[in-house]
Amino acid sequence: MADAASAPAAPAGGLRRELLSFAVIGGVALFVDMGALWVALNLLGLGVYSGGLFSYLVAATFTWYLNRTFTFRGVSRRRALAQWAKFLAANGVGAAVNYAVYAAVVTFGPPLAPWPAVTLPLLPYLAKAAGSLSGMAFNFVASKFLVFRRG
């Protein structure tokens, strides 16, 4: 029985499947991120900045697990904690971009809000969406070639 770490490289169609799976998981993770943000703001009493960091870590752990399980499934499943840490480190730049965009929208968004009565209560969640999209492309490349690389 061959070791999962020695699985052959994904075929050309595999890249499209991986990218689609990564994007779908990322889309679902956005809702996990927003839900964790709601918990941070409303149940844990964290502020928008520390709450944003908390919700990011929850969502990043969620995406690591699902990408490990579904997107890059031919990769070794040993040493999960080390792989999780590598995933967080490799996606650090994407996380920094994600958080910088989130913080910028939260900080500078209110004066730009076209309908303040509607936009302002939703601002942290809109900021999460903008941050999430900004880091996704970088995170896919980092995940595929640094964390879940084959062989």
Give the Cα separation of 138 and 54 in Å (integer).
21
What is the end-to-end Cα distance of the chain in Å, rounded?
16
Measured CA to CA, the distance from residue 106 to residue 138 in angstroms comes to: 22
Residue (of 55, 63, 11, 5) closest to 34 by Cα position: 55
Assess contact for 147 and 87: CB atoms under 8 A.
yes
Task: Tell me the pLDDT tens digit for each residue of 32-79.
Answer: 999 999 999 999 999 999 999 999 899 999 999 999 999 998 777 778
pLDDT of 7 higher than 50: no
State the average pLDDT over residues 70-89: 85
pLDDT-wise least confident of 10-19, 53-62, 87-96, 138-147: 10-19
Calpha distance 88→71 (Å, rounded): 17
Say if residue 85's pLDDT is above 60: yes
pLDDT single digits (tens) 97-149 = 888 988 998 888 766 666 565 567 788 888 888 888 888 878 898 898 888 88
1 — pLDDT class (breaks 50, 70, 90): very low
pLDDT at 111: 65
Q: Do the Cβ atoms of 48 and 99 come closer than 8 Å?
A: no
How far is CA 79 from each of CA 74, 84, 93, 117, rounded to the nearest angstrom? 15, 9, 23, 49
